[in-house]
Amino acid sequence: MHPLTVAELGVSSADDWRALRTLGGFPEPFFNGSAREAKRWSTEHRNLLIRDELVSLERVDDIGRLELLALRLPDLVGAPLSINSLREDLDVSHKTLTRWVGLLERLYALVLVPPFGSPRVRAIKKSVKHYHLDWTLPASPGAAFENLVAIHLLKWVHFRQDVEGLDLELRYFRDVDGREVDFVVTDRRTPILIVEAKLDDVAVTPALRYLKAKFPDCPAWQIHAQGTKDYQTAEGIRVAPAVVLLRTLR
């Protein structure tokens, strides 16, 4: 089950927005309203997934290291997932670690977002990024906000796939020159929405300007979690508080 979203909850006030970011989008912790209980629920939920549901799905010989993986992954949200680095940290084989990540994905403990590649951009096509359905897990406020945006976009993509039969995908952009944009929603591999997520209302990133120039007809947003600025740049990039975009994802 996908978490609750800004659009579903009708989030408009600063307090409601802060609560959704802090408590997460799962009904029990959100409606309870307690940050302490939300943390307790998050820990119990993760333990339940690993110690009950995952081990019933497939045999796992080293549950301890799998739990260490689950604890380590939230720290890596927002960056391409390096299986080799994790393999060295946990002292397990590449094959085992790849299988564990796949198991966590099958349980919806996390989701994998592949890169967007197009002949019109010099994109990197191998590394994936990952996010958690429980967006409160990353300790970094910036990573947690990016995670929240990822899950909102993914839910919108899945809804339109199921209801309208569209061939939408959620991806991210990164090229060989190091330019990166957080999210690209594609329809049959053509971008239909580009989103950069920032904690504060900072200047538009050069990477977002670059990608917008490559696809000038595609709506492009830079959204922020904590600011109030709302305007459109000369290139047509909308800079706005996150709720302005997220409340349209119905």
Which pLDDT score is estimated for 66?
84
pLDDT 10s digits, 76-108? 999 989 888 888 888 888 888 888 898 889 888
pLDDT < 50 stretches in the chain? none
Name the pTM for this structure.
0.94
Which pLDDT score is estimated for 67?
87
Which pLDDT score is estimated for 123?
59
What is the total residue count of the chain? 250
Which pLDDT score is estimated for 120?
66
Which pLDDT score is estimated for 96?
86
User: Alpha helix (H) ranges present in the chain?
Assistant: 6-9, 14-23, 27-32, 35-48, 55-57, 63-72, 83-90, 94-106, 141-164, 206-214, 242-246
